Amino acid sequence: AGQLLESGGGSVQAGGSLRLSCSVSGSVIRRHCVGWFRQIPGQEREGIETAIATQTPGNGSRFYDDAVKGRFTISQDESKNVQYLQMDNLTPEDTGRYYCAIQTREWSACGLARYHYNTWGQGTQVTVST
């Protein structure tokens, strides 16, 4: 349950936009806590403590880290079982590898803290240049 495949990364100039996709298989996305993490250059993935965005199961409440609030938008297409991360007004500080993560237990508590998630995808690279 809860296999994840990210896509949509790439290179963009500052001020540009990208939309990341996280395709979820083996789980019904609306029943799970699904979020996005960012690994900045030089950081170990194991050292990432909080997500930058997440959507809760059920009512679909959305939470964002202050670093991306107002610029990034998380959404889901339940018919496709896909979660999206729309990233606007990108800056070089947004450069990193972006991971989708899920809590495979249904209807769990959800938030930005890493402990809410137990399965990660392989990530997709985002590079923002000046």
Q: What are phi and psi of 37, to 5 degrees?
A: -120, 155
HEC readout, 80-122: CCEEEEEECCCCHHHCEEEEEEECCCCCCCCCCEHHHCCEECC
Look over the chain and give the mean of its residue pLDDT values, rounded to a whole number.
96
Work out the pLDDT band at 63, boundaries 50, 70, 90. Answer: very high
pLDDT at residue 1, rounded to an integer: 67
- Tens of pLDDT, residues 19-60: 999 999 999 999 999 999 999 999 999 999 999 999 999 999
Of the pLDDT bands very low, low, confident and very high (cuts 50, 70, 90), residue 88 is very high
